[in-house]
Structures are given as structure tokens and as C-alpha cells.
Amino acid sequence: MANHKSAEKRARQSEKLRLHNKYYARTTRNAIKVLRNTTDKAEAVALLPKVSSMLDKLAKKNIIHANKAANLKSSLTLHVNKL
């Protein structure tokens, strides 16, 4: 365990941030699943900008890599266009 007060504080902050990041990453993954399982074109078109925005925010905060966000957005757009 940490031997200095600053290291203990950093451990607390890191854990809090990890849980925060995990929540937003999980929420986005769930939104992606909902979009992929949607068969209604109108509903999918309405969901796509929201999911894309979520992915952009995760990439901006370095929770996921920017290229991963771009790849996911691309595949989701193809999915919506195929409906």
C-alpha cells in the first residue's frame, strides 16, 4: 500500500476516476447493443447521433482510443444504412 499521504490520495482519486470511466464506458456499450439490435430504421436513425456523440466523448477523454471510436461509428452507420 501507499507510504505517503500524496500516494494515498492519488490511489483514492484513481479508484474514483476508474469507476466514473467504467460507468460511462458501460453506458455507451449498452447503447451500442440497443442500436445493433434495433430492426426499425426510424428508431435506428434517431439513436445513431446519440451513440456517435457518446463515442466521441469517450474518445475525447481517452477512455477509449480515437480509432476505436471511429471504427465503431463506421460499423454502426453501415448497420443503420443496411436497415
Whole-prediction pTM: 0.85
pLDDT higher than 90, residue 1: no
Q: What percent of the chain has pLDDT above 70?
A: 99
Cα–Cα distance between 27 and 2 in angstroms, integer? 32
Segments making up each domain of the chain, as ranges? 5-82
Cα–Cα distance between 50 and 31 in angstroms, integer? 9
Per-residue pLDDT tens for 8-50?
Answer: 999 999 999 999 999 999 999 999 999 999 999 999 999 999 9
Per-residue pLDDT tens for 45-79?
Answer: 999 999 999 999 999 999 999 999 999 999 999 99
The pLDDT value given to residue 2: 72
The pLDDT value given to residue 3: 84
Nearest residue to 17 via CA among 68, 57, 56, 63: 63
Where b means 16+ CB within 10 Å and e means fewer, 25-35 reads eeebeebbeeb
CATH number belonging to the domain at 5-82, selected among 3.90.1150.10, 2.130.10.10, 1.20.58.110, 3.40.50.300: 1.20.58.110
**Phi-psi region at 62: left, alpha or beta (left = phi > 0; alpha = psi -120 to 50):** left
